[in-house]
């Protein structure tokens, strides 16, 4: 059974479809000759877990086993009924039950490393544009950025 609806993936509008053993997000590109383009395809056998996150703008979060499918392990989709989508994906996976209820030995734990980097910016004394602390010349006007 195929389940499909409009949604967003990384800010791009398109269509999310689950069926035939995979989760597929497509979008239409081009102004004159519009062509449908597949943005991401996730085989359901590679999905580790499906969750709904957020209070207001709820999003569907799909975690993928990196050993089965290379690439990004975490995919976020904005759809209207994320709980219905979660149920549809679980049905397509053949389990019908949430991944949390499976035994601990049957689940493979996935760890996602998140790196937060702070970038310090200073204003140019000539034009006022913000530049990173490490640059020698202003990215806007080319003036030398002095460190008082």
| Full residue range of the structural domain in which residue 127 is found | 118-148
Q: What is the pTM of this model?
A: 0.60
Mean pLDDT lowest for which of 50-54, 57-61, 106-110, 134-138? 106-110
- Same domain? 45 vs 96: yes
Do 97 and 35 share a domain, yes or no? yes
Q: What is the pLDDT of residue 26?
A: 92
113 located within any domain: no
DSSP for the chain? --EEEEEEETTEEEEEEEETTEEEEEEEE-SSS-EEEEEEEEEGGGEEEEEEE-SSS-EEEEEE-TTTS-S-SEEEEEES-HHHHHHHHHHHHT--S-GGGS-TTTS-------------EEE-TTT--EEETT-SB-TTT--B----
- Of 51 and 111, the structure prediction assigns the larger pLDDT to 51
- The total domain count for the chain is 2
pLDDT in tens, 73-85: 899 999 988 889 9
Give the pLDDT confidence score for residue 20 in this predicted structure.
Answer: 87
Task: Please give the mean pLDDT across all residues of the chain.
Answer: 83
Per-residue pLDDT band for 109 (boundaries 50, 70, 90) equals: low
């Amino acid at each position: 059974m195929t389940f499909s609806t409009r949604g967003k993936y990384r800010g791009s509008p398109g269509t999310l479809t689950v069926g035939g053993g995979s989760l597929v997000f497509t979008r239409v590109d081009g102004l004159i000759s519009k062509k449908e383009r597949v943005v991401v395809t996730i085989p359901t056998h590679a999905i580790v877990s499906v969750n709904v996150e957020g209070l207001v703008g709820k999003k569907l979060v799909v975690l993928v086993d990196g050993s089965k499918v290379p690439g990004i392990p975490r995919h976020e989709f904005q759809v209207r009924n994320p709980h219905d989508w979660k149920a549809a994906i679980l049905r397509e996976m053949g389990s019908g039950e949430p991944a949390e209820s499976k035994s601990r030995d049957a689940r493979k734990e996935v760890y996602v490393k998140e790196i937060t980097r702070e970038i310090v910016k200073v204003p140019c004394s000539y034009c006022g544009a913000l530049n990173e602390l490490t640059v020698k010349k202003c990215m806007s006007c080319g003036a030398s950025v002095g460190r008082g």
